[in-house]
Structure 1
Amino acid sequence: MKHSELIVMLTYNDCTVENAAQIFEQCKESKAKFWGFKEKSLPPAEMKELFKLMKSCGKTTFLEVVEYDEKAGLEGAKLALECGCDILMGTVFYDSINDFCQKNKLKYMPFVGKISERPSILEGEIPEIIAQAQSYIDKGVFGCDLLAYRYTQDAPTLIKEFLNQIKEPVCIAGSIDSYQKLDQVKEAQPWAFTIGSAFFDRAFGQDFHQQINTVCEYMN
Structure 2
Amino acid sequence: MEFIFMLTRDDQTVKDCLNVLTEIEDVPLKHIGFKDIGVAPDVLRELHTRIKARGAATHLEVVSTSRDAALQSAKMAVDLGVDYLLGGTFVDETLEILSGSNVQYLPFPGQPTGHPTKLGGTPEEVAAQCTAFEQAGAAGVDLLAFRATDAEPLDLVEAARKATHGTLVVAGSIASISQIEALAAAGVDAFTIGQAAFTGTISPRFGSLRSQLQEALTAAAATAATSSAA
TM-score (norm 1): 0.95
**Equivalent in 153, 156, 173 of residue 155 of structure 1:** 153
Instruction: Describe the SS at the equivalent of 1:200.
Output: helix
| Alignment equivalent of 1:114, drawn from 107, 111, 114 | 111
Query: Using the alignment, how far apart are the partners of 1:84 and 1:165 within structure 2?
Result: 28
Query: What number of residue pairs does the alignment pair up?
Result: 217
* Equivalent residue number for residue 182 of structure 1: 180
Q: Which residue of 1 aligns with 2:210?
A: 209
2:101 to 99, 104, 107: 104
| Contact kept in structure 2, 1:62 and 1:89, CA below 8 Å | yes
Distance 1:13 1:67 in 2: 13
Would you say 1:199 and 2:200 are equivalent positions? no
Name the residue aligned to 2:80. Answer: 83
Instruction: Provide the identity percentage.
Output: 30
Which amino acid counterpart does residue 80 of structure 1 have in structure 2? Answer: A
The one-letter amino acid of 1:213's match is Q
Per the TM alignment, residue 191 of structure 1 is displaced from its structure 2 partner at its CA by 1.5
| Root mean square deviation of aligned Cα | 1.2
Matched position secondary structure for 2:71: helix
Secondary structure of the structure 1 residue equivalent to 2:115: coil
Task: Tell me how far apart the structure 2 counterparts of residues 18 and 156 of structure 1 sit (CA, whole Å).
Answer: 32
Residue identity opposite 1:199 in structure 2: A
Structure 2 Cα separation of the partners of residues 27 and 50 of structure 1: 13
Letter in 2 for 1:166: T
Aligned residue in 2 for 1:26 = 23
Unaligned runs of 5+ in 1: none
Range that drifts further, 41-50 or 208-217: 208-217
Amino acid at match of 1:113: G
The code of the aligned residue for 1:212 comes to L
List structure 1 runs of 4+ shifted beyond 6 angstroms.
none
Deviation for aligned residue 1:147: 0.2
- For residue 103 of structure 1, give the secondary structure of its aligned residue in structure 2: coil
* Unaligned segments of structure 2, at least 5 residues: 222-230
Residue 125 of structure 2 aligns to which amino acid in structure 1? E
Q: What letter corresponds to residue 121 of structure 1 in structure 2?
A: K
Structure with bigger RCO (C-alpha 8 Å, 6+ apart): 1
Task: Tell me the equivalent position of 1:132.
Answer: 129
